[in-house]
Structure 1
Amino acid sequence: MSSGQAFSPTSAPPNLQHHRSSSSSSSPMLGGVVIAIVIVFVAGWLCFCFRRKLFANFSLWRRQKGKLDAAKMKLRRFRLEELQKATDNFSKSCLVGCGAFGNVYRGTFEAEGTLAIKKPHAESYTSTEEFRNEVKLLSKVKHDNLVGLVGFCEEIGPKAAKILVYEYVTNGSLLEYIMGRGGRSLTWRERVKIAIGAAKGIAHLHEGISPSIIHRDIKPSNILIGEGYEAKVSDFGLVRSGPVGDQSHVSSQVKGTPGYLDPAYCSSFHLTPFTDVYSFGVILLQLVAARPAVESSRNNASSHIIDWARPSIEKDSIEDILDTDLLIQGCNMQMMLKMGQLALRCVVKVPKKRPTMTQVWQELEAALKSVDDHFLPPQPLDEDSSTLMTSTTDQATSLRMNQLSSMDHDYSSSIVSIDGIGLERFHVDIDSMSFQSARLRCLETSISMDEGFSIIQ
Structure 2
Amino acid sequence: MAPKTFKRKLCASFKSYGKQKGKLNAEKMNLKHFSLEELQRATKNFSQECLVGSGAFGNVYRGTFHLEGTLAIKKPNAEQYTSTDEFRNEVRLLSKVKHNNLVGLVGFCEETGPKAAKILVYEYVTNGSLLDYIMGRGGRSLTWRQRVNIAIGAAKGIAHLHEGIHPSIIHRDIKPSNILIGEGFEAKVSDFGLVRSGPVGDQSHVSSLVKGTPGYLDPAYCASFHLTPFTDVYSFGVILLQLIAARPAVESSRSSTISHIINWARPSIEKGCIEEIIDANLLLEECNMEMMLKMGQLGLRCVVQVPRERPTMSQVWQELEANLNLAPEYPIPLDSQRFSSRSIHESVIRISNQSEHDYSQSIVSIDGIGLQRFHVDMDSVSFQSASLRCLEMSIDDDFSIPR
Q: TM-score range by the shorter chain?
A: 0.7 to 0.9
**C-alpha displacement of 1:159:** 1.4
Q: Which runs of 5+ in 2 are unaligned?
A: 364-374, 382-403
Is this contact kept in 2: 1:177–1:186, CA < 8 A? yes
Paired residue for 2:177? Answer: 221
Paired residue for 2:273? Answer: 317
Paired residue for 2:108? Answer: 152
Change (3 A) 1:411 1:321: closer
**C-alpha displacement of 1:143:** 0.5
From 350, 372, 377, give the equivalent of 1:421: 377
Q: Distance in 2 between matches of 1:380 and 1:238?
A: 46
- Tell me if 1:244 matches 2:244: no
From 298, 303, 310, give the equivalent of 1:347: 303
Q: Distance in 2 between matches of 1:412 and 1:359?
A: 32
Change (3 A) 1:415 1:72: closer
- Tell me if 1:124 matches 2:80: yes
Q: AA paired with 1:278?
A: Y
**Which portions of structure 1, spanning 4 or more consecutive aligned residues, are displaced by more than 2 angstroms?**
53-65, 375-381, 410-425
Q: Distance in 2 between matches of 1:364 and 1:126?
A: 41
* CA shift digits 1:390-443 (9 cap, x unpaired): xx8xxx79x96xx79xxxxx7697954567535798xxxxxxxxxxxxxxxxxx
Q: Percent identity between the aligned chains?
A: 75
Q: AA paired with 2:275?
A: E
Write out aligned runs for 1:42-441 (5 A): 63-372=19-328, 378=333, 416=361, 420-422=376-378
Is this contact kept in 1: 2:287–2:332, CA < 8 A? no
Q: Distance in 2 between matches of 1:340 and 1:313?
A: 6
SS at match of 1:138: helix
* CA shift digits 1:350-376 (9 cap, x unpaired): 000000000000000111111136x57
Structure 1 vs Structure 2 CA RMSD: 3.1
How many equivalent residue pairs? 360
SS at match of 2:194: coil
Q: AA paired with 1:369?
A: N
Q: AA paired with 1:150?
A: V
Change (3 A) 1:377 1:219: closer
SS at match of 1:348: coil
SS at match of 1:71: coil
* CA shift digits 1:61-89 (9 cap, x unpaired): 55433111111110011111111111111
Q: Distance in 2 between matches of 1:245 and 1:415?
A: 40
Q: Which runs of 5+ in 1 are unaligned?
A: 1-46, 382-387, 405-409, 426-457
Q: AA paired with 2:60?
A: V
Q: AA paired with 1:280?
A: F
**C-alpha displacement of 1:194:** 0.3
Q: Distance in 1 between matches of 2:36 and 2:264?
A: 48
**Bigger Rg over Cα:** 1
Q: Distance in 2 between matches of 1:171 and 1:355?
A: 29
Q: AA paired with 1:156?
A: T
Q: AA paired with 1:355?
A: P
Q: AA paired with 1:126?
A: T
